[in-house]
Amino acid sequence: MTLKEKIYRHYLETVNDKIQVLERVLADLKESGSNETKSTAGDKHETALAMLQIEQENKRTQLSDVLIQKAALEKINPAVSADRIMGGSLIKTNKGFFFISIALGKALIDGIGVIAISPQSPLGLKLMGLQPGDTVEITNNRYNIESIF
C-alpha cells in the first residue's frame, strides 16, 4: 500500500469514527428524550425536553456535515496521480505533506506528518493546478512544491 493510500484510509477511518460517535450520541439523546417524556415534572420537564431537542438538532446537523465530508472524500481515488495538483493529490512541499481532500487537520502516518486541507481553503486554492518546481506564498509562508503523488 502506498503512502497516499494509507493517508486516504486514515482520513476515511477518521470520518467514519466521527459518524459512529455522532450516531451513538443521537441514539443516547433519543433514549433520554423517551425517558423525559415519561416524567411529569411540569416546567422543569418541558425545559429539559426542549434542551434535549436542541441538542438532537445540533448533533443531526453535525452528522449531516460529516456525511457530506465522507461523500467528498469517497470521490477521491487514491490510486490516481497527476502531474498537476488537483483534488486528491498528495503534495510534498518544503513545509511538509498536504493531502488535498477535505479539511481534517494533521495526522502522523508512517512517521510522516500530513495535513488534510480542502481545495477551497486559502492554501488549497493557491495550490490547485501547480506542479513540482512551482512556488506559492500565503500569509508570509513560501511553499515550494517538491513532488505530487
Question: What does pTM read for this prediction?
Answer: 0.86
Q: Is the pLDDT of residue 47 over 90?
A: no
Pair (10, 53) in one structural domain: yes
Pair (109, 140) in one structural domain: yes
Using alpha carbons, list the distances in angstroms from residue 3 to 14, 47, 51, 118, 148.
Answer: 16, 51, 45, 19, 12
Q: Is the pLDDT of residue 16 over 90?
A: yes
Neighbour tally for 103: CB within 10 Å: 13
pLDDT band at 36 (very low <50, low <70, confident <90, very high): low
**Which one, of 90, 125, 126, 120, lies nearest residue 102 by Cα?**
120
**Burial classification of residue 136, based on how many CB atoms lie within 10 Å of its CB (0-12 exposed, 13-18 middle, 19 or more buried):** middle
pLDDT band at 100 (very low <50, low <70, confident <90, very high): very high
Burial 19-36 (b: 16+ CB within 10 A, else e): beebeebbeebeebeeeb
Pair (70, 21) in one structural domain: yes
- Domain termination site, one of 50, 74, 98: 74
Q: What is the pLDDT of residues 58-83, one digit of tens each?
A: 999 999 999 999 999 999 999 998 99
pLDDT of residue 44: 64
How confident is the prediction for the chain on average, in pLDDT? Answer: 92
